[in-house]
Copies of this chain bind each other. A is one copy, B any other.
């Protein structure tokens, strides 16, 4: 299935120098894909001349004169920069000139601009960022990941509904939905979580299974895990940090002892496979749920491989027609 995706080409910690090779790799692996790079047209064209072998019919450049920095306030991104690459990319999506949009930029600004440009789906107060993380069973869809720092119980409820529909659209039958908490007993947690639990217990169309703790998330005890964006972001990033720590230590274990060195030559490739499976690069690309179009947030620090994963995720979301599915079912489920 063909897809046309807009890329916020000025975004991320490394900007177009890193994103362009990732885009060319995405085009090379899928002949039905078309990309529009949004950003400083002369810079982008210059950079593109350094590469060869790409198909001009499937790679366009759309000029945008401004760039939103990582440290910029959402309010200033919204009001002060009408011609930012992020905003123009979202406007291409709004005007249906593309079917999806990928940015590695400032999360808060992307959230504010996406809400302003695209509006949220009916009944949704705030879009939420969701991604899949590996578990002992399979994977788990976690939301929100940082778009919403403070969440009311109603927001958490809406995230649960959107997450459940999104997981179902990805093939999970009757997704088990849980609220992340610091204990499984009903008395645990803050007010928002306790009240969200009481709302979810009454939601007949949801397979709400109750509270879940951090360790049970990775044991795979739920298919959808709901939390506020502060907590979700900490969970996601600390997991990445720990996975790095563990692979680093494994390498050291094999280097330190003689037996380790002898065995390491054979064992390390096996562990490399594991590392790839758990790597943030493989899982990069969080979906904004609750918007009428496909918006994917890549890690700011994404490398080429990781940004390629984010583009793939955008293609997948376009193919699944996720926004349309959410739009069709949210009405039955929201309060």
Contacts and interface: CB of A to CB of B under 8 A. Distances in A.
A199 B294 CA distance: 40
Interface in A199-256: 213-219, 227, 229-231, 233-246, 248-250, 253-254
B190 A218 contact: no
Contacts of A134: 245
A278 interface: yes
Contacts of A320: none
Interface string A53-74: 0000000000000000011110
A190 B230 CA distance: 8
Interface stretch (A115-123, A259-267, A327-335): A259-267
A190 B241 contact: no
Give the interface centre of A180, A187, A264, A273 by most chain B CB atoms within 10 Å.
A187
Contacts of A150: 190-191
Contacts of A254: 267, 270
Contact of A231 (B107, B146, B230, B240): B230
A95 interface: no
Contacts of A231: 230-231, 234
A257 B267 CA distance: 11
Contacts of A274: 246, 249-250, 253
Given A182-B229, A263-B263, A253 B271 contact: yes
A263 B260 CA distance: 10
A25 interface: no
A319 interface: no
Q: What copy number does this chain have within its complex?
A: 2
Contacts of A108: 187-188
Given A231-B230, A245-B134, A245-B136, A238 B267 contact: no
A21 interface: no
Interface in A75-98: none
A277 interface: yes
Interface of A, secondary structure class, is helix
Contact of A270 (B257, B266, B277, B278): B257
Given A136-B245, A253-B273, A238 B217 contact: yes
A215 B235 contact: no
A240 B231 CA distance: 16
A185 interface: yes
Give the interface centre of A150, A186, A242 by most chain B CB atoms within 10 Å.
A242
A236 B278 CA distance: 19
Nearest to A270: B253
A271 B250 contact: yes
A267 B259 CA distance: 8
A15 interface: no
Contact of A71 (B187, B213, B234, B266): B187
Contact of A242 (B242, B259, B277): B242
5 contacts: A146-B182, A218-B241, A246-B274, A250-B274, A259-B266
CB-based closest 5 A-B pairs: A214-B237, A214-B238, A218-B241, A215-B241, A182-B233
